[in-house]
Chains A and B, each alone.
Chain A
Amino acid sequence: MNEHHGQNDQEHHIVSPFIYLAILLCLLAATGLTVWASYIDLGEWHIARGVTLFWNPVVALAIACTKMILVVLFFMHVKYSPKLTKLTVISGVFIFLGLISMTLADYMSRAWGRW
């Protein structure tokens, strides 16, 4: 794939169409899997009194995250990108998760209706 490039050409890794095709098939399979899993009661886990984890949304989000990682790494070429790009992507995810968990921690720990 990576044959000779002219001096002024953009010298970047060219991802093979076969990899794109493989990722496409994985994404389609994951879509089927997430629809299938949504029809099954995957149960719940009582972590502590009043704290329950339902497996269905956890599985749905895990599949969605896997799909996102495949798209980011291969379709968006992050696997073959400079470290700066990788750092940018990771920091974006990190800040997003940080903001979401801080907001949720606030909402869940308030004494709603008691003031």
Chain B
Amino acid sequence: MSDSTATANGTLAEAHHEHPPYQRHHFETVSQQFDATNFAMWLFLLTEVMFFGGLFTAYLIMRNWYYPAFVEGSHQLSIFWGTANTTVLILSSFTMAMGVWSAQMKRKGMLLFFLGLTFVLGLVFLGIKSIEWHEKWEKSHVPGLRYSGQSFLNPASDPEVYAEYHDKPLAPDMASKTEQYFFLYFAMTGMHALHMVIGIGILGFMIIRAKAGAYTSGHYTFVENFGLYWHFVDIIWIFLFPLLYLISRY
């Protein structure tokens, strides 16, 4: 029994070509393994495109139907926080790209620095997002939970926004459609924020692994593919920002 096992192992060992420990046996080369994993990540991102695509399509149709409600709903969002958050997210995409570069160059200290910076910028983004959401709660603009059309039936009752845009009162049926706008606002920014939370979690895991020396010994596939995910989430925000914040601001 033990003899036959030994023989079998011996044959295996002979057929076994030299390769680094991280190369799976069913791949010819590390490069092939990288390409296959990278391709799989892109396929996953395509499913994400379809997922967010449904939300964007709903947004387009609703916006065409209830344009005046979307305009006045959009005026409730803060350009300042929106622009700040866009900047934070773009910076985090840059630090992530630099993280991938550090892993490629096998610089552990720099990799930790850039992953840490991406982690912090991700948290800053969520912090700003929660300031904005909190304001919606205070102004009763959370559909289903706490909603009032007062700001749209009587815009002058909302002096801050009124001073800037002088919105006209909406008819009651159109004013009620602002709830559709805020529903899409919360659904889209909420789904985006969920992706950020997941991303920040994985970043934390990567930082712990990177401290132990992972990714900087020539095998950086995980960092590269996580980078794709992070940049994808950035792209979603690049579209959410003009679509939700910048409707008819003049």
Contacts and interface: CB of A to CB of B under 8 A. Distances in A.
A2 B61 CA distance: 48
B94 A11 contact: no
A38 B249 contact: yes
A68 B239 contact: yes
A9 B30 contact: yes
Contacts of A24: 90-91, 93-94
A88 B39 contact: yes
A25 to B, nearest CB: 9
B246 A20 contact: no
Interface residue SS majority, chain A: helix
A6 B23 CA distance: 14
A88 B41 CA distance: 11
Contact of B87 (A8, A28, A107): A28
B227 A64 contact: no
B42 A8 contact: no
A35 B79 CA distance: 8
A63 B49 CA distance: 19
Interface residues of A, number: 53
Interface string B78-100: 01000100110011011011100
B158 to A, nearest CB: 20
Contact of A92 (B49, B79, B241): B49
A23 B94 CA distance: 8
A85 B224 CA distance: 14
A68 B235 contact: yes
B104 interface: yes
B234 A71 contact: yes
Interface of B: 19-20, 23, 30-31, 34-35, 38-39, 42-43, 45-46, 49-50, 53, 56-57, 60-61, 64, 79, 83, 86-87, 90-91, 93-94, 96-98, 101, 104-105, 218-221, 224, 227-228, 231-232, 234-235, 238-239, 241-243, 246-250
7 contacts: A14-B104, A17-B98, A20-B101, A31-B241, A38-B250, A64-B241, A75-B93
